[in-house]
Structure 1
């Protein structure tokens, strides 16, 4: 099997599609090495294994609202697109969405995937409960009442168990308007970056870092927020835009400040369109919001090397959370995302230089995207990493859920199943 982008051949020796959680638990208990795969929208080996891969799409796909708790229970293999449609039918919503609605809920949460908005938590921020199958086959459920065990498990990289379900906080459905502005001068953007990214419920900047202006600013405003017709010198687009220059906006969510349902505006791309099958690579680095102007200036200094390799770069923000391995752990953040052309050797050659530029700002790589595993001081970036190592050792002493990438981050397990 390959991942979504086609840049990675998985190492598994077998692939299983259990049809019940009980069948999954039996499979996990009998395996030496095992990992779950969701939508495979990752670009590195975080979900790889040299044992058995389990796909969760054959499990019962449960989406059940719990009105008295203002939550929804969702099976791990469900996509955000399916979840959002079901919620909207009941007048409910979740607070944030990623660019694509096609990714799986469990995979996105486990890797710290996010949407945008200075006051909006990542997708993990909605989690109030998590169901997992441990290496022994034991089925466990954790909630916020479980304290550290819960906080260490939500963004768990698949190292603590296979996630079979999540309970997410919901809100009443809400309306959003989306407007694209163009040609935002870099000088003005960096002069008051926090005000810029706070100008709507969700703000995304699209650029290739070359030139003196940011190509596009996507504003996703609550229907109660005022319209923005001028923003630090950027002006409204006169027709719908795709983030990539010259591309049709047909598969993008509706723009031009027209109000619509939250699920039809918060993602960049529409539910009914299947996203492109690969032909791109991705990296992303998350760092404290206060460092954004200096960090972005540093990246701009590398524009001559980056621009030829980029389809586009997206700059977003996110609120601080308490999950131990979340890239947003205890810091309001800016996320600098790179959508690369399918030129992996060239991208891997420039990544160490890019990471060197961002290291002084405490940049944390997105767990599911391309980065240099040996190029980061994980203990400094994640103050609870030592506690997570202990949690992983306690729950997976035989290293069933480990792989080479996890070993490079967590250290070699004390006991190996090999």
Structure 2
């Protein structure tokens, strides 16, 4: 059966407003999408779901959840999948984006021949999953433009029938329609944060061509996944884990933004740096931290820690070394034992230290070819306890193929 989604019910207002109050604590787009999709699935009892973001005339596959396939490589890879659908009448999501109208499908295998779209069976065939019922809604901003599409899959029953798939109820559509109505502002805020970060990165890239958008997005994704693995192993509180993962995904992207303060003659020098030039180059950690010195937000505090300390080494032989090269007064509040050692180095900086090195090793540079994943992993394992925190190395080692998925999502030009 194919039918339009019901209009929202006023009784959902308090619950939805509570959700969006909590969204104000989040900064990374992925964390915002994760929270919106999780809540939509909870309200509708959906087994799975996807959020597509509008990018011009296409929908970008941006976030996915699937309880039945949780932990499988299909879902793991889908989290960072770089795929798009055209906004047209061919796909269900494309049709909803094109028309701005929500649709409920009770059984995708029984679509009428005259349906204005078709169901793409590719994911089901690849993963063994069986899609039956679908609720697809547009996310429309205050200007009336579709900014995203949310697609919920397989409504589950309750009690003894909780694993039984059935159609989405009109009541579920009420809840999710109101959530989708309010989701646009949160999504646009996340997009704005991401664009602001990438603008800062582009400023750094103008000075240092190695600081590209794909590089920093990979470092941010690696850092977020490493932190999640580490925090899970520690048994960290789920709320703390989500908020910290959100912050590190964004803050890690700004690790080398301080290179804007390094003279071109040093930053772009083709040959080896002199001792004095290297001392000046190392000051990019100061410049980066200085950008965030007056902020009171937790995100900026983490960004300052990462910018200042991601070149510290676990054995205490990294930089900056405050005693050898005293800090300017403007960033003196970041000074401490020099250089920092072990767990005195902020955790986020210890994580980004590894993420940055791994990406640098596996990326091609004018002075070297890209290392293989195995070569880079061997180097990192060998530097455990000297360059890198052993706990961070262990968390990184547990990621498996996720690192390849991230690289595929953010490829170099």
- Regarding TM over 0.5, the answer is no
Higher share of residues assigned helix = 2
Q: TM-score, normalised by structure 1?
A: 0.27
Higher-RCO chain (CA-CA 8 Å, sequence separation at least 6): 1
**TM-score in terms of structure 2 length:** 0.27
